[in-house]
Amino acid sequence: MSDQQVLAILGGPKAVTTEPGDMFTWPIITEEDEAAALEVLRRGAMSGSDVTMQFEDDFRKWLDVDYALGFNNGTASLQAAMYGCGIGIGDEIICPSITYWASCTSAYALGATVAFADIDPVTLCIDPKDIEHRIGDRTKAIVVVHYFGYPADMDPILEIARKHNLKVIEDVSHAHGGIYKGRKLGTIGDVGAMSLMAGKALAIGEAGMLVTNDRDIYERSLALGHYERFDSNIQNEALKPFIGLPLGGYKFRMHQISSAVGRVQLKHYDARNEEIGRAMNLFWDLLEGVPGVAAHRPEKGSGSYMGGWYAARGHYKPEELGGLSVTRFCEAVEAEGAPCTPGCNLPLHQHQLFQTADVYGAGQPTRIANANRDVRLWDTSLPVSESITANLYSIPWFKHYRPEEIKQYANAFRKVSENYKQLLETDPGNPVKMGGWNMFNRR
C-alpha cells in the first residue's frame, strides 16, 4: 500500500489540500445587496410593503405564476398555504415523515392534523405508492416536500389528488429553481410555499414566499395574516365582510430588509443556481461507480433537475463496504478534509408532539383532538423513514465550479471507499439516534 492510500484519519495525507476560500460561502453578498438593505434602513421603510410587493412581482415573473405573497418566514407561508386550501378543524393533511417539521406542524394551529406517509428510498421524497391508503373522509391536502433539492414525483401524486379531490401543497424550501419534467417546482400543485431563510439555497434573511395560480387560495392566504393588504381588492364574497383584520390573528408580513436583499438575490439566482448545479453534478460524475456511494439526483434525460442542492445528501450502501457504518465513513471523509455528516431529519411520526402532546389543553393529544379517527402510527411503521438515516450523508455544497478543487473533494470520498478495510476494525457502528429533528447543515 502506498503512503497516499493511508487514510488521513489513520495518519495518512489529506485528500483535500486546497483551502476552501469562498467555495462554501453563502449567500454571496455584494455591494448591490448592501445598497438595497441600506436604502430600506435610511428611508425607514423596514415595516412597509412597497419593496415586498416589488419582490413579489419579481417572483411572479421568475416562476411564471399569477400570484406571489411574501411572508415573515417559510413556516408562516406553509400555514397560510394550508389555510388557503381550506384546511380547518378536524381536517387531515398527508405529509412525508422525513422532512423539517414546518412542512406540517402548523396544521395543529388550524385545528387540523397530519397523517404521515413514507418516503421513497431513491428520491427521499413522499412515496406516491404510500399515499392513497392514508386518505380518510377528512383528508384535504397532500404536502409534497422536494427534499434536499430533489423534485418529488409529481405526476402520480397529482393523479391521486385529482381522483380524491385533494389539494397539493408543494414545500419548495429545499429546492428553489428545481424542475420536474420541464415544470418549475412550486407551480405544479395548487400552491407552493417556501422558506427563504439565510441557510437555504435562495437565501435572503428570515422570509418566506407563497405562489399560486388560484385566486381563492391567494386571497385566503392573504386574509390569514396580512391585515393591511386584506382590503377592497378582495374578490371572494365570503371574505369581504371581514376585510381589515387578519382572520388568523397573525401578522405574517415580510421584513423589508429581507425583501430588498431578496430582489438582488433573485436577480442573480438562476446564474448562481446553474453554477452550483454544474459543480455538484461534476462531483457526482467523478464518483460514478465508486462502491458504497451513489448520487441523489434525477437521472440524466428525465427532464428533471435538482434545485439549489440545499443540504444535499448522497446514498450510502454499507453492504458494498463490508458493512462499514456511515458514521465511521463520514469521520474518515471529514479527516480527508471534506465536510460529511451522517443522517438526515429524524422521522416526525415518532416524536411525542405527534403522539401524546396536548398543545392546546383539549384534554387529549392535539394530533387526534379534532379528528374523527386516530391517525397515529402505533402498530404499523414507516420502514424507509425509520431506517434511511443510516444510508445518507451530507456532501460538500459547492457554490463555484472549480473542477480542480471539486476533484479533491471527490477524491476524499473515493479514497475512503477504496480503503474502507482500514476502518472496519475500529468501526463503533452507528449511534442509536442519528440526525436531528431540526435541519442541520454545518457548512
Q: How far apart are CA 331 and CA 340, in angstroms?
A: 8
Closest CB to ligand PLP among 5 and 438? 438
CB of 404 to ligand PLP, least distance (A): 32
Site for ligand PLP contains 173 (CB under 6 A): yes
Site for ligand PLP contains 171 (CB under 6 A): yes
Site for ligand PLP contains 393 (CB under 6 A): no
Strands 191-195 and 208-212: antiparallel
CB of 83 to ligand PLP, least distance (A): 16
Q: Say whether 193 sits in a helix, a strand or coil.
A: strand
Residues 6+ apart with CB under 8 A from 396: 23, 24, 283, 338, 339, 340, 409, 443
Site for ligand PLP contains 324 (CB under 6 A): no
Closest CB to ligand PLP among 77 and 411? 77
Half-sphere exposure of 333 (CA within 13 A, CB side): 29
Whose CA is closest to 75, among 182, 173, 177, 186? 173
CB of 149 to ligand PLP, least distance (A): 11
Pair 175, 196: CB distance under 8 Å: no
Of the candidates 195, 325, 341, 417, which one interacts with ligand PLP according to CB under 6 A?
Answer: 195
Cell numbers given for 175: 429546492
Contacts with ligand PLP in 64-93 (CB under 6 A)?
73-75, 78
For residues 196 to 215, the per-residue mask of contacts with ligand PLP, x marking binding by CB under 6 A and - elsewhere, is -x----------x-------
Closest CB to ligand PLP among 204 and 434? 204
Give the range of 95-103, 271-279, 364-372, 392-400 binding ligand PLP by CB under 6 A: 95-103
Determine the size of the site formed for ligand PLP (CB under 6 A).
16
CB of 397 to ligand PLP, least distance (A): 14
Residues 6+ apart with CB under 8 A from 354: 114, 116, 348, 367, 376
Site for ligand PLP contains 262 (CB under 6 A): no
Site for ligand PLP contains 187 (CB under 6 A): no
Closest CB to ligand PLP among 8 and 143? 143
Of the candidates 65, 102, 114, 209, which one interacts with ligand PLP according to CB under 6 A?
Answer: 102
Query: How many Cβ atoms sit within 10 Å of the Cβ of residue 405?
Result: 20
CB of 180 to ligand PLP, least distance (A): 16
Whose CA is closest to 103, among 128, 86, 82? 82
Site for ligand PLP contains 174 (CB under 6 A): yes
Closest CB to ligand PLP among 99 and 327? 99
Cell numbers given for 173: 424550501
Closest CB to ligand PLP among 153 and 336? 153
CB of 294 to ligand PLP, least distance (A): 23
Instruction: Please state the length of the chain.
Output: 443
Closest CB to ligand PLP among 203 and 434? 203
Closest CB to ligand PLP among 15 and 439? 439
Q: How far apart are CA 272 and CA 177, in angstroms?
A: 11
Q: How far apart are CA 276 and CA 195, in angstroms?
A: 19
Strands 183-184 and 179-180: antiparallel
For residues 145 to 164, the per-residue mask of contacts with ligand PLP, x marking binding by CB under 6 A and - elsewhere, is x-------------------
Give the range of 99-107, 253-261, 269-277, 385-393 binding ligand PLP by CB under 6 A: 99-107
Q: Say whether 313 sits in a helix, a strand or coil.
A: strand
Whose CA is closest to 354, among 144, 97, 91? 97
- When CB distances to ligand PLP are compared, the closest residue is 74
Q: How far apart are CA 143 and CA 116, in angstroms?
A: 10
Site for ligand PLP contains 439 (CB under 6 A): yes
Q: For every residue of 32-89, which 3-state class applies, written as one string? A: HHHHHHHHHHHHCCCCCCHHHHHHHHHHHHHHCCCEEEEECCHHHHHHHHHHHCCCCC
Pair 250, 228: CB distance under 8 Å: no
Of the candidates 99, 304, 385, 411, which one interacts with ligand PLP according to CB under 6 A?
Answer: 99
CB of 155 to ligand PLP, least distance (A): 21
Contacts with ligand PLP by CB under 6 A lie at 73-75, 78, 99-100, 102-103, 145, 171, 173-174, 195, 197, 208, 439
